[in-house]
Chain A
Amino acid sequence: MNNQKRSAALITGGATRLGLAFSNLLASNEL
């Protein structure tokens, strides 16, 4: 588990189309 090291993001409404898009962006290496 590396949860203690990598930063995390909380996205509300994450299962909506927009929330999913934001979640995928934050999870990707595109930042």
Chain B
Amino acid sequence: MNYDIALHYNGSVDAASVAKKNIEKLGVSCAIFQADLSSSDPTDLVSEVAARYPNIKVLVNSASVYDAASIANTSLKTLEKQFAVNVFAPFMLTKAFANTFFQNSDTEGQVINILDNKIAFQQYSYAAYLLSKKSLADFTKIAAIEFAPKIRVNAIAPGVILPGDQRTSDYLAWRVEGIPLKKQGEVEDLLKTMQYIINSNFITGQILTVDGGEGINHQGLNAEQFNGQSDQDT
């Protein structure tokens, strides 16, 4: 099964236009829709898309912003932007998706939210971003209950798969050392996960972490590892 594609973008009109042409070569229709999700009402985007595609069955919340700052260095503006794009937009898009396409319909649909495997950690150096992704993870579970049985809501939490262009090979090698499977993931790993979610009609409210085990790689301190002299009572 394949889908017509409503492709949202913000600033990358050239990339969106190229994507449209490539997607159309696959034999489906594709239209591109511009919206700045940090400032506009996401409900308007759904209305615009519905006018062109009244048969939307899948919503993928992939748009995301990332600003690194500790709590001590986070401005209200940064906090608001992280939450506007990473939480408020998926929230309002999911609401509009459900109300527009499923309220008076017996058909089934699904929402897939894109998270980050860092939701397993408390890395305060990008506090606002991390908190927004943790919120989106909880939203995934809440929405799965509210919109069942018509709409399944799941999420994918990628690890080291598409690092930013600024990341050096030394950095990536260092990160891989912390991954139990000792390798960087590939986009194909995420696509297989999306295929699994799309085709699994008995799965909802789940977060599938695709990170080689990095997110579970924290044992915590314990007595077996302790080599100190004052451990006589433990």
* Residue among A4, A20, A28 making CB contact with B26, cutoff 8 Å: A28
* Residue among A6, A12, A16 making CB contact with B4, cutoff 8 Å: A6
Most buried by B among A4, A10, A11, A21: A10
- Given the known A-B contacts A12-B62, A14-B16, are A3 and B9 also in contact in the complex, defined by CB atoms under 8 Å? no
Contacts of B194 in A (CB 8 A): 22, 25
Near B by CB (< 8 A), chain A positions 1-31 give: 1-31
Contacts of A5 in B (CB 8 A): 55
Assess whether B179 is interfacial by the CB under 8 Å rule: no
Most buried by A among B9, B32, B52: B9
Please determine whether B3 and A14 come into contact, CB atoms closer than 8 angstroms: no
Contacts of A17 in B (CB 8 A): 162, 187
Please determine whether A15 and B15 come into contact, CB atoms closer than 8 angstroms: yes
Contacts of B208 in A (CB 8 A): none
Please determine whether A14 and B9 come into contact, CB atoms closer than 8 angstroms: yes
Contacts of A15 in B (CB 8 A): 7, 9-10, 12-13, 15-16, 19, 32
Please determine whether B2 and A29 come into contact, CB atoms closer than 8 angstroms: yes
Distance in angstroms between the alpha carbons of A28 and B114 in the assembled complex: 20
Please determine whether B58 and A10 come into contact, CB atoms closer than 8 angstroms: yes
CB distance from A23 to the nearest CB of B (A): 5
Please determine whether A12 and B89 come into contact, CB atoms closer than 8 angstroms: yes
Contacts of B29 in A (CB 8 A): 1-3, 6, 8
Contacts of B8 in A (CB 8 A): 10-14
Assess whether B216 is interfacial by the CB under 8 Å rule: no
Please determine whether B5 and A6 come into contact, CB atoms closer than 8 angstroms: no
Please determine whether A3 and B37 come into contact, CB atoms closer than 8 angstroms: no
Assess whether B46 is interfacial by the CB under 8 Å rule: yes
Assess whether B95 is interfacial by the CB under 8 Å rule: no
Please determine whether B6 and A9 come into contact, CB atoms closer than 8 angstroms: yes
Known: A8-B29, A31-B2. 15 other contacts (CB 8 A): A3-B55, A6-B29, A7-B1, A7-B3, A9-B57, A10-B8, A10-B49, A12-B8, A13-B9, A14-B9, A15-B12, A17-B187, A23-B30, A24-B23, A25-B191
* Chain A residues with a Cβ under 8 A of chain B: 1-31
